[in-house]
Structure 1
Amino acid sequence: MAFDGNLVSVLQSLVEAFISPEEDLMLCSPRLGFSDEETEEAREEEEVALRIAIEEWKAQRTSAKITWEATLSQKDFLTTFRVTRPLFKYLLYEWEREQQADAWKARVHPAERQVLAALYYLGNLEPITSVAERFSMMPSTIHSVIMTFTNFIETLGDRYLSWPNAQEKIRCSEIVRQNGGLPGVFGALDAALIKIRAPAGDEKAHYIYKKVSTGLKCAVVMQFVVDAELLLRDVHLAAPSDANRASILQTSRLWELLHCTVAEETHIVAPAVYPLAPTIMIPYVGEQLSPQETTFNELHSEAFKLTRNVMTALKSRFRRLQLLDQKLTNIFKIISSTCILHNMAIMREGPEVLQDLQMSYRSETDEDGWHALPQETIADFGILGGEEKRHYLTTVLS
């Protein structure tokens, strides 16, 4: 190595000379011993050593903050990290088993701290610089940890976010019926906005959903199906420029799935902007409805509350979804991973934990409404058999 003496002491004096120690030290590293004759391998080794030394020195400087989470009660841990300790330990086990952390990060930042930092970021709206300071990491390190964590969670998607089988549909439809909903309903379909900072470049135009006096409002459209147990069963992400909800549905894999299962006895409920189908029950529209049609709509509305409940739970647990400030590629990963984490929490913690979380998000008071997609009208098309099935359900309710 080209460094002599105590690296930490050298770095400490250098850090004090710079506002951004990581960036400036990396720029100045050639002056600390790199020469034109050194091999690329030796240069990389010294760069890694320098990064480790910076992180170790910073961790020592703020060591009092490293284990603050260990003193939290079970309730405070849930409030702070938005998951229970048992779920955190499960995530930690899976994280270590898959060896997701980079080797140099693992030497400085234990896997436990990395997982906690990622969960804290997803569960709060603090700037990333504040999160980095809280967990004694560089901003660039915390960003790398967060994205590595979301990539890791996405690998668990097949286990925790999947379309229900026939038995699961029947079980969920019984839950809906017992709660005063429409018979045969195992879940609900809708789309919500995940607000984001305006992207850079030409992509911005696709994600603008409203122009106001103070500027542009941007978002990602999240189409989702939620079942009676508040599990997300299908998630599709799109841009507001993809037009209305019916158009977005037709471009998603869900459309083909629902179109190919016309013989299903169970179904989902959706607002009237979606097409009527044997697997999609929408309410009756009109000023003069029969008593049976009114009853159908009332039961439909009760079942449809699932969409509001799941979005309240999702955005309250993972408050980062209330406003995302990342690159678009990262935004899609964060949304996808939080949906999977939501399902993991429901499955492994139980829905009763939601009662202990602070439900800080209320979809009904969102300034842009529940979905806020422009120029939507009642769907003027459907799938063969949908009208007949709705009429049958209306008849049996009378």
Structure 2
Amino acid sequence: MATFTKAVLAHALSEYKQLVDKYAVLLQTTSRMEEEEKAEEERRRRTLAVLQSTQRVTVKTGTKCEIMLNLEDQTFSRHFRVTKPQFEYLVKKLRDNGIEKQHSKGLPPVPATKKVLMFLWYMANQNSFREMSDKFEVSQSTAHRIILQVLDTMCTMGSSFIRWPNACEREASAAAFHHLCGLRGVIGVTDGCHIRVQRPPTRGGDYLNCKSFYSVLLQGIVDERGWFIDIFAGLPGKVHDARMLRDSDFHTTWQEKVGDHSLLGDSAYTGHAFPFIISPKHDNGALTEVDKLQNSRISRGRVVLEEAFGRLKCKWRRLRDLQNTRIDAAVMVIMAACFLHNMCISVSDICQEHPNGCPRQEDENE
């Protein structure tokens, strides 16, 4: 009897232990499920709070503005395409024109130095606003707003960067061009180039140029230094150089500006409509030696503008492709690049990638 009782008790204890173990597992499972439900509820609450918030929550890994400003001179110039004195000059000019006065939704204002750094980075690279957002620790919308603000301000400062030379400067340019190419009375070179854009939704076909891509045109006139003394931008890529010159403000005032001097141009400007432009004669196989010499001299003089356009697109790489940019904003970018070109140009300003001169891309408006 005792043996039987012991066996029954042992079996009962075993069953009880199994029940206790199952109950413990059930408690653990229930507790884990409750914790997961609480965590999921917390995630839903945070997500809803973000969606209902008027400010975007962003996670940034970018470089602090102060670190960028403390880069050594050569590194700073390589990244931002300007020297530190040029940067300080640009900051001062933009401050004088109200770059710090605009705020957004009561947020802390972005310092002028940071705005100019962002602008120079935008002009010198082809990064997206998402990449710029991460680089400068701002939201994408803020990066976009700042770039448009600086572009708009820059375009009100044209006279600070581009102006027509006075009488003494024109005489100096004439002497320099005579030394360069042997032609007398020349004070500048004019031509047009294409800036690639996305097909606009309105009259998009007008922007398809002879090179089979969509573009807007930049007309530039440079002096012997490659310094822009007049620009005109924004016409569709389908427009011919001669038509662009006739439509520009310069054409209405050329007699006052050029006077007894001349400009150099390519064969697009041949004809009685442009008596102030010296252009080469078409080589039909019957050119005289004098004509060939004249064409050669014109070609040597026009190199100045070819190099200026090459340097413009090499240094301010945003001009290489303005996809996803409105036409009005694209025109502001083009003008700003020309202003920066003039601000930076000097005899000692040599491209590190192209020490013998920046090659002009295949963008001629033929």
Please say if residues 173 and 183 of structure 1, whose CA atoms lie closer than 8 Å, have aligned partners that are also in contact: yes
How far apart are residue 322 of structure 1 and its match? 0.4
Structure 1 SS opposite 2:298: helix
**1:33-44 map, 5 Å:** none
Q: CA, structure 1 residues 265+372, in 2 after alignment: closer, same or farther (shift >3 Å)?
A: closer
Corresponding residue number in structure 2 for 1:284: 281
Please say if residues 210 and 238 of structure 2, whose CA atoms lie closer than 8 Å, have aligned partners that are also in contact: no
Q: Which 4+ runs in 1 deviate beyond 6 A?
A: 13-16
How far apart are residue 146 of structure 1 and its match? 0.7
How far apart are residue 309 of structure 1 and its match? 0.7
Corresponding residue number in structure 2 for 1:268: 263
Please say if residues 82 and 344 of structure 2, whose CA atoms lie closer than 8 Å, have aligned partners that are also in contact: yes
Tell me the distance in 2 between the aligned counterparts of 1:262 and 1:117: 37
What do residues 168-221 of structure 1 show as CA deviations (whole Å, max 9, x unaligned)? Answer: 21111211222234222111111100011222x223222122586xxxx21101
Q: CA, structure 1 residues 167+206, in 2 after alignment: closer, same or farther (shift >3 Å)?
A: same
Structure 2 length-normalised TM: 0.78
Tell me the distance in 1 between the aligned counterparts of 2:331 and 2:44: 38
* Match of residue 254, structure 1, among 239, 250, 254: 250
Q: CA, structure 1 residues 155+14, in 2 after alignment: closer, same or farther (shift >3 Å)?
A: farther
Corresponding residue number in structure 2 for 1:81: 80
Please say if residues 177 and 187 of structure 2, whose CA atoms lie closer than 8 Å, have aligned partners that are also in contact: yes
**1:144-155 map, 5 Å:** 144-155=145-156
Structure 1 SS opposite 2:268: coil
Please say if residues 280 and 298 of structure 2, whose CA atoms lie closer than 8 Å, have aligned partners that are also in contact: yes
Structure 2 SS opposite 1:236: strand
Corresponding residue number in structure 1 for 2:21: none
Tell me the distance in 2 between the aligned counterparts of 1:14 and 1:86: 51
Structure 1 length-normalised TM: 0.72
Q: CA, structure 1 residues 106+307, in 2 after alignment: closer, same or farther (shift >3 Å)?
A: farther
Please say if residues 262 and 279 of structure 1, whose CA atoms lie closer than 8 Å, have aligned partners that are also in contact: no
What do residues 31-80 of structure 1 show as CA deviations (whole Å, max 9, x unaligned)? Answer: xxxxxxxxxxxxxxxx5xx47xx57xx5xx64754433134221111110
Segments of 5+ residues of structure 1 without an aligned counterpart are 1-12, 19-23, 30-46, 374-398
Tell me the distance in 2 between the aligned counterparts of 1:262 and 1:233: 11
Corresponding residue number in structure 1 for 2:364: 371
Corresponding residue number in structure 2 for 1:395: none
Give the partner amino acid of 1:321. L
How far apart are residue 274 of structure 1 and its match? 0.6
**1:158-177 map, 5 Å:** 158-177=159-178
Q: CA, structure 1 residues 155+243, in 2 after alignment: closer, same or farther (shift >3 Å)?
A: closer
Corresponding residue number in structure 1 for 2:10: none
Tell me the distance in 2 between the aligned counterparts of 1:114 and 1:15: 35
Please say if residues 221 and 230 of structure 2, whose CA atoms lie closer than 8 Å, have aligned partners that are also in contact: yes
Tell me the distance in 2 between the aligned counterparts of 1:88 and 1:262: 32
Tell me the distance in 1 between the aligned counterparts of 2:65 and 2:337: 25
Q: CA, structure 1 residues 114+280, in 2 after alignment: closer, same or farther (shift >3 Å)?
A: same
Please say if residues 82 and 357 of structure 1, whose CA atoms lie closer than 8 Å, have aligned partners that are also in contact: no
Tell me the distance in 2 between the aligned counterparts of 1:372 and 1:116: 33
How far apart are residue 261 of structure 1 and its match? 4.6
Give the partner amino acid of 1:28. Q
Percent identical residues: 23
Give the partner amino acid of 1:291. E
Tell me the distance in 1 between the aligned counterparts of 2:93 and 2:310: 28
Tell me the distance in 2 between the aligned counterparts of 1:89 and 1:106: 25
Tell me the distance in 2 between the aligned counterparts of 1:357 and 1:155: 32
How far apart are residue 242 of structure 1 and its match? 5.3
Q: CA, structure 1 residues 204+16, in 2 after alignment: closer, same or farther (shift >3 Å)?
A: farther
Please say if residues 187 and 262 of structure 2, whose CA atoms lie closer than 8 Å, have aligned partners that are also in contact: yes
Corresponding residue number in structure 2 for 1:245: 241
Corresponding residue number in structure 1 for 2:328: 329
Please say if residues 216 and 237 of structure 2, whose CA atoms lie closer than 8 Å, have aligned partners that are also in contact: no
Please say if residues 351 and 358 of structure 2, whose CA atoms lie closer than 8 Å, have aligned partners that are also in contact: no
Please say if residues 164 and 257 of structure 2, whose CA atoms lie closer than 8 Å, have aligned partners that are also in contact: no
Tell me the distance in 1 between the aligned counterparts of 2:92 and 2:269: 42
Corresponding residue number in structure 1 for 2:38: none
Q: Rg larger in 1 or in 2?
A: 2
What is the count of residue pairs matched by the alignment? 317
Corresponding residue number in structure 2 for 1:204: 204
Please say if residues 121 and 320 of structure 1, whose CA atoms lie closer than 8 Å, have aligned partners that are also in contact: yes
Give the partner amino acid of 2:90. L
Structure 2 SS opposite 1:247: helix
Please say if residues 181 and 302 of structure 1, whose CA atoms lie closer than 8 Å, have aligned partners that are also in contact: no
Please say if residues 307 and 359 of structure 2, whose CA atoms lie closer than 8 Å, have aligned partners that are also in contact: no
